[in-house]
Amino acid sequence: MIKKVLIMSASTGGGHNRAARAIKEELESRTIDNMSIECEIVDSLKLVNNTMDKVISGGYEKSALYTPKAYGSVYRFSETSLASKNEFKGNPLTSLMARKFKHLLNDSSPDLIIGTHPFPMIALSTLKKNNNIHSLSRSESFYKSTKVDIPPMISVLTDYTTHSTWIQNEIDYYIVGHEYVKELLVYEGVDSEKVKAFGIPVEKSFLSHRDRETVLTELGLSPEKLTVLLMGGSFGAGNIKETLEELLTVDRDFQILVVTGRNEHLKDRLSKMLDSTIHNKNICLLGYTNKMNDILASIDVLISKPGGLTTTEALLNDVPMIVPYFIPGQEEENLDFLTNCGAALRTTKKYSLPVLLKVLIDDPSRLDSLRKNIKSIRKFNSAVNISNLVVDILSSNE
């Protein structure tokens, strides 16, 4: 006998899938009364169809790169009373997802469902809601004819904020990154007993790393110098070229590591720019790398957009952030969280990146203060605590 857990994700940014893998890794190491736990990660958009996956996932990536303001406008609109919580269930995307999920649930008969993305949880909440409705209109007859059992559901929020799409009456538990986020959900009417501030889960491999001297030496950098990492997420979003140009003007002794992710075009642009620019900085330019666990443990300052998983990984490595760009919406709200906690600095027109970085370099105690604040909010063992909750739920259902 085994217990089956479905982990519903989606490829809109890398964080949802990384959180899903972290949970799967930990859950599959557990047993319940000598029964193993089998986990399956389902990419919800691909399950609907590949075209929709490409349109939505690709659209997110392109909007992040080219039209972040437009993305932010859509994000803010969906938080208004015109599109409030629990009102996403009737839209065509979630209705189509709900139809697809019926077959998935009937085939796999999961004992519990975890969601690291709101879209699939809206669709599953649609199914669960309609299961509980005795009198259905003609338009809802599909649900009546193919009723399906919905097991307990847990939503794992992968940002340090909330959004109305996450909030569904049918969700049994919410996992959030911090007590501040719990209070946001409670303010929106969620029962505080349903919200667990366990943190955002990361894979175990991320928490192990080689020593700074080895890592920086391999990259052609000095272990003795203050090291700044510049990046913009897995697909290189953000004004990285302009930010690097700013860094080159800072008249202090430090070195720069740039990671452009999957954006090869950006890497080529930066390489050509550096070749044609006179500067006195030691710079290492990388594309995609699977050594971010080593790199984040070896740097002093991270300059990046504040994605949920990027933020979490920086916090777990005691790395202060300077944030000169972000995608309006959840990343802007992640930045609000970080600055309210004293764990990051935000550039403005007056307080530019060179100004902030010079002060940190000239007065190392300011870096120490940021690290102290980070230690007070970071949360290890998120995946372990989520797994404990899952085991408790499944055990009580025996």
For residue range 95-122, list pLDDT tens digits in order. Answer: 677 777 888 898 889 999 999 998 889 8
Q: Do you know the residue count of the chain? A: 398
Look at residue 301 in the predicted model and tell me its pLDDT: 98
Q: Supply the pLDDT for residue 144.
A: 47
pLDDT at 138: 40
Q: What is the pLDDT of residues 337-381, one digit of tens each?
A: 999 999 999 999 999 999 999 999 999 999 999 999 999 999 999
Q: At what angle do helices 179-187 and 330-340 cross, to 10 degrees?
A: 120
Q: How many angstroms separate the Cα of 358 from the Cα of each of 248, 252, 253, 258, 332?
A: 12, 7, 10, 19, 24
Q: Of 47-51, 156-160, 328-332, which one has max mean pLDDT?
A: 156-160
Is-same-fold flag (2-200+380-396; 204-377)?
yes
- In CATH, 2-200+380-396 is 3.40.50.2000: yes
Domain boundaries, the chain: 2-200+380-396, 204-377
Q: What is the torsional sign of CA 364, 370, 374, 376?
A: positive
Q: What is the mean pLDDT of residues 319-327?
A: 93
**H-run or E-run covering 237:** none
User: How sure is the predictor about 201, in pLDDT bands with cuts at 50, 70 and 90?
Assistant: very high
pLDDT of residue 51: 47
% residues pLDDT > 90 (the chain): 65
Helix or strand run (H / E) with residue 251: none
Give, in order, the Cα–Cα distances in Å from 132 to each of 126, 147, 324.
Answer: 10, 10, 48
The single-letter code of the amino acid at 359 is V
Token pair for 187 = 């303010």
pLDDT value at 59 more than 90: no
Question: In the CATH hierarchy, which top-level class contains the domain 204-377?
Answer: alpha beta
Answer with the residue of higher pLDDT: 119 or 88.
119
The 10s digit of each residue's pLDDT in 138-153 is 444 444 445 788 999 9
